[in-house]
Amino acid sequence: MKVGVLALQGAFAAHSSVLEQLGVATTEVRLAEQLADVDALVLPGGESTTISMIAQRTGLWDPLNAFVRSGRPVLGTCAGLILLAAEVLDGRSDQTSLGALDVSVRRNAFGRQLASFEMDVPVVGLDEPFHAVCIRAPAVERLGDGVEVLAEVDGHPALVRQGAMMGAIFHPELADDPRLHELFLAG
């Protein structure tokens, strides 16, 4: 298996590092043709509007949209979750999402940078809680049919799965714990 990590902006290098520690081949995706060479994809945290604008400007947006709708595994973390969401409740007027994951999200729902936090959360499929690093985290405010909640933070969905897609409000690549990436790869 080869996993692509969208490398336009944000925490892509940390995701690649975790996956490589698991013995998974990775490639940084910056061009449409690089998507043809991967079996799964990670959409990292960063700034969702910036990532979408770069993807559109470089011609990557439509191939990215096709990939996430192909049924292949996709993990979106923080900004990546916002990019996957069917609805962004408080996005900028020029913000675009892929609309592939049937959730509504609110950007920076837990507050600005100074309100960032960390906490251990139980995750369905993991024996021990996972250390969730939430940096300007979005909140999932609506779940569509078929969206499963795998973890919660303060009573709000924090990790969701719909088919082969997973979305997290937190940054698993910063937790020094590869179990969430393993859970993603296991399907």
Average pLDDT, the chain: 92
80 neighbors 14 (Cβ within 8 angstroms) = no
| Stretch among 39-43, 97-101, 107-111, 174-178 having the lowest mean pLDDT | 107-111
Q: What proportion of the chain, given as a percentage, has pLDDT over 90?
A: 80
The three-class DSSP label of residue 70 is coil
Give 102-158 pLDDT, tens digit per residue: 999 997 756 555 557 789 999 999 999 999 998 888 899 999 999 999 999 989 999
> For the residues 44-55, what does the mean pLDDT come to?
92
151 or 90, which is more confident: 151
The helix-helix angle for 61-68 and 48-57 (nearest 10°) equals 110
**Candidates 15, 134, 173, 181; catalytic one:** 173
Give which of 41, 47, 45 is closest to 28, Cα–Cα. 41
13: which 2 tokens? 């290098």
CA angle 137-143-146, nearest 5°? Answer: 130
**Residue 171 is among the residues annotated as catalytic for this protein:** yes
**Residue 134 is among the residues annotated as catalytic for this protein:** no
Residue 110: predicted pLDDT: 61
Phi, psi of 19 (to 5 degrees): -65, -40
129 neighbors 120 (Cβ within 8 angstroms) = yes
Residue 117: predicted pLDDT: 76
Residue 112: predicted pLDDT: 57
Q: Give the predicted TM-score (pTM) of the model.
A: 0.94
Give which of 150, 71, 171 is closest to 103, Cα–Cα. 150
**CATH classification at residue 181:** 3.40.50.880
If one counts the domains in the chain, the total is 1
**Candidates 78, 87, 131, 152; catalytic one:** 78
Residue 9 sits in which domain range? 2-186
Amino acid at 106: R
